[in-house]
Chains A and B, each alone.
Chain A
Amino acid sequence: MRKSFLGIFLFFAAICPVLGQDKPIAFINARIIPIVGQPIEQGILLVQNGKISAVGDARTVRLSSDVTIVDLKGKVIMPGLVDSHSHIGEASGGDGSAPIQPDVRVLDGINARASSFQRAQSGGITTVNIMPGSGHLDSGQTIYLKNRDNAVTIDDLLILDKDGKYMGGIKFANGTNPIRPGGGAFPGTRAKSVALVREQFIKAQEYREKIKKAGTDKTKLPPRDLAMETLVEVLDGKKVVHFHTHRHDDIYSVLRLQKEFGFKVVLQHVSEGWKVAEEIAKAKVPASVIVVDSPGGKLEAVDMRLETGAILDNAGALVGFHTDDYITDSRLFLRQAALAVRAGMNRDKALYAMTMANAIMLDVQDRVGSLEAGKDADFIVLSGDPLSVYSHVLETWVEGKRVFNRADPVDYLIAVGGRGATTDRTVHLDCFDGDMGGHE
């Protein structure tokens, strides 16, 4: 096994100068799992200028004479993984001053050089939604990033929309994490939590109305308000609400809020989603599930099950998975899909959940999530079946550039750990926080 790694390494070292250039690269002979469409044995993935130019086999893909051929016989190619909920990058969000802080952007609190980005690369994650924590009803705006290599600043990681604006959602949470009995402005109960959120959205509706009324007359515009501007974006469906929620009644509260205000929402964690699977499916609200090795933890999450993904999928809901890194390790993200399959989920659906479903939840499905011509050349090379414990991510490519190579000693260290593998300052935004009552 090691020898073949070395072989690949030497081979790539030889062709390295041409990689990531304008010249087309054809990855041939691999089993390709495009996610959209059937797997292709001895497939060809053709990449140029950071985009996928073709996916197929020798009969369907024509190779030009200047193409660089990379033979991946025995290997598996699938799209780069999309993590719909993570806390890598030493991220921070809102402070303790208020329970709802839509003005705060996680974008302004990320260390783009954090080693956790490399950890995510080694796990095959190419797109990630970095969220602030869940200790607030709204701890701020989230950011969608590409795990590009050698980032100097956060700008090097952003995903820009058609207007050149960074993409991201907004984080909300209900249940026990934001509840702080006697915590001043923070809610003390679930009903109060919902009331506080409704209050802000009603204010945002009024703010939006004022803007509408002002029309072209700028003198009639309301004073700028960062929080309100953000919530108006949410009301307009321009920002997805990523709603941390565990218990069945809390999930249901999210559905009720969604109905009232019409925002786009993704249910995050959804520990008791299996209890309200039909309701979630009926509301057409996607669910990003976390798979944890054992039940238990805080009271509202004790009924979490390995079967949640399977049950939600069977009910017809769109299911994704997330690391919630640091809660689960980005290096082992594929394990979530595999354990969901162990617990009854369809294999294809589980792989779809790791890629395309998560891309849909972040509104980036036009660019990533599947291997299709015209999409970003974000893909991973695996040593075998993506759902096998023995398979390793050998390479991770983002926009036609290789950002992780297991054959490289530095990348290998990141992938398996060891001396010097982790250099992050310790900042963990644990979504399972709370309930410990000072026992920690």
Chain B
Amino acid sequence: MKRLNLLNRLGVILSISLALSVAAYGQIAVKGETVWTMAGEPIKNGVVLVKDGKIEAVGAAAQIKIPAGYRTISAKVVTPGLIDSRSVVGLNGYLNQPHDQMALDGSGTVQPELRAIDAYNTEEKLISWIRSFGVTAIHTGHQPSALISGQTMIAKTIGKNVDDATIVPTAMVAVTIGDGGLAGQGRSPGTRAKSAAMLRAELIKAQENAAKTEAPKDLRSVIMMRIIKREVPLLVTAHRAQDIITVLRLAKEFNLRIVLDGASEAHMVLNEIKASGFPVIVHAPMMRAGGETENASMENASKLKAAGIPVALQSGYEGYVPKTRVILFEAGIAAANGLSFRDALATITIDAAKILGVDSRIGSLEQGKDADIAMYDGDPFEYTSHCTGTIVNGVLASETIR
């Protein structure tokens, strides 16, 4: 009993997850001393009205009358719900046990047909963990550990089942060029050149299939044709500069839609990336450097931004611990290493939404968009600030002070 009191005094109650069943969509007025809408200048003493899961209105408190019956929640700083642009959460669980790690199937090195939605666990504890820091949407899926490991998806951080949570069921197909994509143990691809050759062979087959009057209907051919028809982009993890250049070479040959992922050495090939027009979902600034990521820099995001390249941040894939990084913390490190506060926040809100192609729904606080909102008791990036609440789809999905 004494121990319980201690916990209470500390304000660290394990988990106050609000019963999500309480009224599907509430009517909420979020008041913020500073509201970063990410669509225009931040609003001092702003209000965001939420109705039926959408943002009803945003503006200065003086201009917006809070209707009767709205639950009012106040916070020092209000931002759009955070977006993690590259994660494996939901496929990989928080247990380092084979049965809880589903972001990689080891039976093949080319498996673009594997759908993320078939493995996404909405009950995964890491989802509620990141939600308690303000994350409302994640681009998650198969991990960067095979030449083509499978598909990715975009989901909200609540949802009673995968269909309920999903925004985009097949967002991209995950490709890895470099050490991470090698099969090892004498299997192919065993080298970088072999990786490129195998990928080219797949893409040529897809071109040929797409030209047929009767296209094949097997799972792999279908998704590969969607790639070659530019309906689905490739999310290509490439860390070394040489691997990034290989990606650009293949993209040109096959006229592919590419989103660069990881890109530790992006700061060494900024001009080439800029010329390609491809966006970069750059590695977590706190990613540990070593091996092919040895030249990673905490300033990578700011250098990409300064070069005019669209950039978003990711939590990425961690094989060990932490089981997931928290995108809020990563953006803080980026903000301490060259990015302005606003630009750092953009890498986990509106710029992330644009790169993921979902900016019509999420990424900023604008009328008509999904009511995904994060609230903080101070500068969101400060180590000692707290997320005081997270609203997803108009529902107060977390009010743990964390």
Q: List 8 A-B contacts (CB under 8 A).
A: A292-B321, A294-B326, A342-B385, A389-B382, A420-B295, A421-B294, A422-B294, A426-B291
Nearest CB of chain A from residue B168's CB, rounded to whole Å: 24
Binary contact readout A289-324 vs B (1 if CB under 8 angstroms, 0 otherwise): 000111111110110011100110011000000000
Binary contact readout A111-155 vs B (1 if CB under 8 angstroms, 0 otherwise): 000000000000000000000000000000000000000000000
Instruction: Please determine whether A419 and B319 come into contact, CB atoms closer than 8 angstroms.
Output: no
Instruction: Please determine whether A294 and B323 come into contact, CB atoms closer than 8 angstroms.
Output: yes
Binary contact readout B280-321 vs A (1 if CB under 8 angstroms, 0 otherwise): 000000101111001111110000000000000000000111
Instruction: Please determine whether A329 and B126 come into contact, CB atoms closer than 8 angstroms.
Output: no
With known contacts A294-B323, A335-B383, A338-B384, A418–B295 Cβ distance under 8 A = yes
Show the binding face of B for A, using Cβ within 8 Å. Answer: 3, 6-7, 9-12, 93-98, 101, 125-126, 129-130, 265, 267-268, 286, 288-291, 294-299, 319-326, 329, 332-333, 335-337, 381-386, 402
Instruction: Please determine whether A344 and B11 come into contact, CB atoms closer than 8 angstroms.
Output: yes
Nearest CB of chain A from residue B283's CB, rounded to whole Å: 10
Query: Does any Cβ of B come within 8 Å of A366's Cβ?
Result: no
Instruction: Please determine whether A296 and B297 come into contact, CB atoms closer than 8 angstroms.
Output: no
Nearest chain-A residue to B12 (Cβ)?
A: A307
Nearest CB of chain B from residue A114's CB, rounded to whole Å: 12
Query: Does any Cβ of B come within 8 Å of A436's Cβ?
Result: yes
With known contacts A389-B336, A416-B299, A295–B12 Cβ distance under 8 A = no
Instruction: Please determine whether B290 and A296 come into contact, CB atoms closer than 8 angstroms.
Output: no
Instruction: Please determine whether A392 and B12 come into contact, CB atoms closer than 8 angstroms.
Output: no
Q: Which residues of the partner chain A approach B286 to less than 8 Å between Cβ atoms?
A: 329, 332
Q: Which residues of the partner chain A approach B7 to less than 8 Å between Cβ atoms?
A: 311
Query: Which of B129, B268, B324 touches A419 (beta carbons < 8 Å)?
Result: B268
Binary contact readout A190-222 vs B (1 if CB under 8 angstroms, 0 otherwise): 000000000000000000000000000000000
Nearest chain-A residue to B285 (Cβ)?
A: A417
Q: Which 7 pairs of residues, A with B, have the shortest CB-CB distance? A: A296-B94, A338-B383, A296-B323, A417-B297, A293-B322, A418-B297, A297-B321
A12 to B95, CA, bound (A): 50
Q: Which residues of the partner chain A approach B381 to less than 8 Å between Cβ atoms?
A: 389-390
Q: Which residues of the partner chain B approach A417 to less than 8 Å between Cβ atoms?
A: 289, 295-299
A277 to B36, CA, bound (A): 41
Instruction: Please determine whether B10 and A307 come into contact, CB atoms closer than 8 angstroms.
Output: yes
Nearest CB of chain A from residue B8's CB, rounded to whole Å: 11
Nearest chain-A residue to B337 (Cβ)?
A: A416
Q: Which residues of the partner chain A approach B290 to less than 8 Å between Cβ atoms?
A: 326, 422, 424, 426, 428
Instruction: Please determine whether B384 and A295 come into contact, CB atoms closer than 8 angstroms.
Output: no
Query: Does any Cβ of B come within 8 Å of A341's Cβ?
Result: yes
Instruction: Indicate the member of A342, A387, A417, A421 with the most B CB atoms within 10 Å.
Output: A417
Instruction: Indicate the member of B11, B96, B268, B382 with the most A CB atoms within 10 Å.
Output: B96
A306 to B384, CA, bound (A): 12
Query: Which of A343, A390, A421 touches B297 (beta carbons < 8 Å)?
Result: A421
A199 to B299, CA, bound (A): 52
Binary contact readout A374-396 vs B (1 if CB under 8 angstroms, 0 otherwise): 00000000000001111110000
Query: Does any Cβ of B come within 8 Å of A8's Cβ?
Result: no
A421 to B324, CA, bound (A): 25
Instruction: Please determine whether A302 and B337 come into contact, CB atoms closer than 8 angstroms.
Output: no
Instruction: Please determine whether B383 and A296 come into contact, CB atoms closer than 8 angstroms.
Output: no
Query: Does any Cβ of B come within 8 Å of A363's Cβ?
Result: no
A240 to B312, CA, bound (A): 46
Q: Which residues of the partner chain B approach A435 to less than 8 Å between Cβ atoms?
A: 96-97
Instruction: Please determine whether A310 and B320 come into contact, CB atoms closer than 8 angstroms.
Output: no
With known contacts A294-B325, A392-B336, A440–B289 Cβ distance under 8 A = no
Q: Which residues of the partner chain A approach B333 to less than 8 Å between Cβ atoms?
A: 332, 389
Nearest chain-B residue to A332 (Cβ)?
A: B286
Nearest CB of chain B from residue A296's CB, rounded to whole Å: 3
Query: Does any Cβ of B come within 8 Å of A430's Cβ?
Result: yes
